[in-house]
Amino acid sequence: MKKKLYILLALACLCGTLSAQRKFEYRVKAGFNVGGALPIPFPAEIRKIKSYNPTMAFSIEGNIMRRFTDKWALLSGIRLETKGMSTKARVKNYAMTMNVSVGDEPGEISGVFTGMVNTKVRNEYITLPVLVLRELSPRWDLRAGLFFSCLIEGGFDGTAYDGYMREGNPVGTKVGVEAASYDFSSDVRTFNWGGEIGAEFAAYRHLTVYADLTWAFNSLFPKDFKSIGFPMYNVYLNIGFGYVF
């Protein structure tokens, strides 16, 4: 009798352990970000986008999923990612501060610029996503929630050329600009947060493909940053593959 009791207790413990294990699921993902630091609303100062390059912006992520029911779960983890872009645009009365190397008045100058600008953005973050997951079927799930990012290394710089600067305002003194540079890397905001929504498809038993859209709620630069005359927000689509353990 005692032997049977011990066996029953052992089976009960084993079932409890397996049940607890099923509540948690572990995943790793790798992908790349496509998007940019977007001015919202789109300013009239940017007259034409000449080119756009999403650059090599990779991400790697580890997740823990905690199931509450068969259909609902909480998903969180750590993501190391790069968010970047390179753009070339023609602008008019574009408020900024730049360092003129070739022009009428070499040196740092602030005002409104008309001409061409080539901007490069490359920001590296460590990100904490907190998402609610809804399983639509054994192969499909949707998730939505928030992300919280801490800047590891900031990069925002570029060149201005083939134009002129009006010092101070659009009716200020006209200064010819043949070549100038700007670097606001040290001004990029350390903390970035926003919304995240995505979907994941189980292509095989352990292999998945996914797409996640992230939209920052706070701007790339602090509110007191005046070297660019409009706010910019990180908006990126992350696409890649995942592995479910």
Q: What is the pLDDT of residues 20-73, one digit of tens each?
A: 456 889 999 999 999 999 988 888 889 999 999 988 899 999 999 999 998 999
Please determine, looking at this structure, whether the domain spanning 24-244 carries the CATH number 2.40.160: yes
pLDDT of amino acid 168:
78
pLDDT surpassing 70 at residue 233: yes
- Kindly list the domain boundaries of the chain, sorted by start residue: 24-244
Give the number of other Cβ atoms within 10 Å of residue 7's Cβ. 10
Q: What is the pLDDT of residues 129-140, one digit of tens each?
A: 999 999 999 899
CA atoms within 13 A on the CB side of 13: 6
pLDDT of amino acid 102:
65
Q: Which residues contact 39 (CB under 8 A, 6 or more apart)?
A: 46, 230, 231, 232, 233
Residue of 189, 203, 190 whose CA lies nearest to 241: 203
pTM for the full predicted model: 0.85
Q: What is the pLDDT of residues 180-212, one digit of tens each?
A: 999 999 999 999 999 999 999 999 889 999 999
